[in-house]
Amino acid sequence: MASAAVTRDVLNVTDAIFEPWNRSDAGTRPAIYYRDSVWSYQQLIAEINRVGNGLGQLGVAREDRVVLIGYDSPFFVAVLYGAMKIGAVPVPVNTSLKPEDYQYFLEDSRAQVLVVEPEIWRDLAPVIGQRMPHLKWVIILPGLETAAVQANGYPGPLLFYQDWVAIMASNLTAVPTLPDEMAFWLYSSGSTGRPKAAVHCHKDMLFCNRVYGQDVLGISEHDRLYSASKLYFAYGLGNGSYFAFANGASVVLVPEKVEPQAVMDTIVQTQPTLFFGVPTLYNAMLRTKGDYHFPTVRECVSAGEPLPAEIYTRWKDRFGVEIVDGIGSTEVLHIYISNRPGQSRPGVTGRIVDGYEAKIVNENGYPVEPGAVGDLMVKGDSIAAFYWNQAAKTRASMIGEWFRTGDKFAMDDEGYLYYAGRSDDMIKAGGIWVSPAEVEGALLMHRAVAEAAVVGAANGHGLEKPVAFVVLVPDVSPSEALKDDLCQVVRSHLAHFKVPREIYFVSELPKTASGKIQRYRLRLSLASRDAPTEG
């Protein structure tokens, strides 16, 4: 397999992405559609340079961290790429967390600069107070509440983004960083513990763009990308920024929270050619009312969790566009297993993306037989260098050139990979592994089911059996008869030991901010004998 590794001695990712468009004949091309405005490449590059100059004047130097808590906007993009252009390290984080979480990010990263939305700062300022010895500057992003921003107990200086960049020069020479030099951090979702920062290098974005953005999706300057997944996620960062900018394409950026109806309206209004979402969003969008058509969308892409075959089929039947399913991770930066446009198979995650290698191993690290379920390991040039301040977790997950993903998969003789679940989500019923995703997919075949999650729970004899949590569609009421119907649907498609031994009807499922189901919280509710009640 040919390598797609970057071999240049000097590589600054911002320079590599944007310099080709820093010309008069290309600079007028639209880069960002944001609310009622359109930012050209020329305008965006100037903003990136102003931010880089501004950070430099604040004393930010090579490898200094800049924590970024921002909604999807041109300002987020300018801070991210402006920091990397001067060799600093931006650290974008989730905008839906609590002040105590942000305190952890600031302390763990030892950031010198915090760039933050005004309404988030309002609640964060009293928490950090004087407990941040490394933090020297706070920059308030433009927003509805910017004018009302106060120190709120924070003793350091506050800067307002628009005033700060307005006096900066719009030209900037990139710092000659190296391909393997750290460029940015992304914190994992931390679904079962404190988030850990995956340290990514300057070469990583370019590798992902080449092997997936170009070779799989065929992104060109004629494309317009819209990602419902936000820029602070690894998945959204590619979809909503460097996949477009590295190819002269444009992106649609929406700062508001994701709502299915609003997403549908945005697709109609902005006419993207590529749309990116997660399975829970596609499922919610299918339940929206209205006669929607997406004539400009050539491909939809899904990642984050396995896409049930039922959702894939219903989406294609309703909108006439296939969903190209795949899987990626924060550590690998983007998708490394994917279906191919025009060749998608429902219920199949896809084949390894060229440029990566994959192997499925047993608990002892030896390859399993074709078709057997095992632990997925991946090798490729975009894998994070290490976890910041997490030596033990680095050694446990990053084994030589290989990354242990924590996912269970099976691979057939043709090289197609079938997702079985997270390693800690798998159920061993009757001595046989059961994939929660497989049972959830069967439950979704019933017209009354909106969402489903399956976990393992011990029965009266201490044996683990599948238990299902089901969210019903509107206007359907829970009943014992419905439970029987759901079990019968699963029984008609899967082996008897995969049928849920109990079904709980719930109003919603616990999820991470990226839309992944938090099955561990469901297991905890069962373990504490506090399972959700019906109704």
Q: DSSP for 261-305?
A: HHHHHHHHHH--SEEEE-HHHHHHHHT--S----TT--EEEE-SS
CATH class in words for 13-200: alpha beta
Task: Report residue 299 as tokens.
Answer: 């491909």
Please tell me the distance from the alpha carbon of residue 336 to that of residue 189, in angstroms, as a whole number. 19
**Are 13-200 and 428-527 in the same CATH fold?**
no
Question: Residue 421's pLDDT is what?
Answer: 78
Which segments of 71-121 are extended strands (E)? 89-92, 113-116
Contacts for 196 with CB less than 8 Å, ≥ 6 apart? 187, 188, 190, 387, 388, 390, 393
3-state SS record for 339-358: CCCCCCCCCCCEEECECEEE
CATH number at 428-527: 3.30.300.30
Q: What single-letter amino acid sits at 222?
A: H
CATH class in words for 258-380+402-422: alpha beta
Please tell me the distance from the alpha carbon of residue 434 to that of residue 447, in angstroms, as a whole number. 23
Q: Where are the domains of the chain?
A: 13-200, 258-380+402-422, 428-527
Asked whether the beta carbons of 323 and 282 are under 8 A apart, the reply is yes
Question: Residue 425's pLDDT is what?
Answer: 77
Question: Residue 276's pLDDT is what?
Answer: 98
pLDDT in tens, the chain (535 residues): 444 554 558 999 999 999 999 887 888 999 999 999 999 999 999 999 999 999 999 999 999 999 999 999 999 999 999 999 999 999 999 998 889 889 999 999 999 999 999 999 999 998 887 678 899 999 999 987 777 787 777 777 899 999 999 999 999 999 999 999 999 999 986 544 678 999 999 999 999 999 999 999 999 999 999 999 999 999 999 999 999 999 999 999 999 999 999 999 999 999 999 999 998 899 889 989 889 999 999 999 999 888 989 999 999 999 999 999 999 999 999 999 999 999 999 999 999 999 999 999 998 889 999 999 899 999 999 999 999 999 999 999 999 999 999 898 999 999 999 988 777 777 867 566 688 888 999 999 999 999 999 998 876 655 678 999 999 999 899 999 999 999 999 999 887 888 999 999 999 999 877 677 888 888 888 866 544 444 3
Please tell me the distance from the alpha carbon of residue 468 to that of residue 453, in angstroms, as a whole number. 6
Q: DSSP for 454-507?
A: EEEEE-TTS-EEEEEEEEEPTT----HHHHHHHHHHHHHHS-GGGS-SEEEE-S
3-state SS record for 137-171: EEEECCCCCHHHCCCCCCCCCEEEHHHHHHCCCCC
From residue 481, alpha-carbon distances to 13, 36, 441, 469 in Å are 58, 51, 20, 16
